[in-house]
Copies of this chain bind each other. A is one copy, B any other.
């Protein structure tokens, strides 16, 4: 039986509903919060927890009322150990009520260990709770079950890695011909979104903005997934909004275009960041 828009345990609307509303109101832009060492340096900040904090809260200040979502890159906090993770907790807390968050963690495991990752990122009361988290399915889509179920319970969401544009990704994702690994992941996500009504389910996929013809070659039906598509790779990483529209075709309304470096490089001034984010957003809304 499909779950209604509000989640079982909390009364919170489902993540898919909340993201769909944010994309309708603000446009389909997700801003990556990527405190890379080189960016910290170019902002005049130290590569330490204080630098991370200043960087992240500045980005949030600049785009928190403009973007549909922000995506902190967990690796760049983890690099600073528990001190970095404490900054991430503060960033996720600051985002709440202001803008949806996607913790880009690419976690994946099995059984009670997977349940522990779900607990960390998707449970009310967890210090690292985000509106959604990215997951990696090398252990099988179904191994992610504890996160899929906890997300549904709490009105949160997941984005599962499906098809990426890095050349070496093909050696796993394209394997299997017409029954490719990427297609199996895509079809499992479509099935899973059957539990959600409304326009967008809460089980999204990560599909690179620069995958080119691979979507067609592998016959992935993203429309049928009926979930949000997180598409990193806009701007400095190589794709224009027009590329995105061409690549995703009929699934474009599900696509959340994700840009990091182009927007972040316009800092450290809040107005510079806002200007770069608005230009990217305009490109995504055009046509």
Q: Give A contacts to B, CB under 8 Å.
A: 34, 36, 73, 75-76, 78-83, 85-86, 88-89, 106-114, 116-117, 119-120, 126-128, 136-143, 161, 164, 166-173, 175-176, 179-181, 184-185
Contacts and interface: CB of A to CB of B under 8 A. Distances in A.
Oligomer copy total: 2
B138 A173 contact: yes
Residue picked from A119, A128, A172, most chain B C-beta under 10 Å: A172
Contacts of A117: 75, 78-79
A49 to B, nearest CB: 10
A170 B36 contact: no
Nearest to A140: B168
B85 A81 contact: yes
Given A82-B89, A106-B107, A166 B143 contact: yes
Contact of A73 (B76, B113, B120, B141): B113
Contacts of A172: 137-141, 172, 181, 184-185
A38 to B, nearest CB: 8
Residue picked from A81, A82, A138, A172, most chain B C-beta under 10 Å: A138
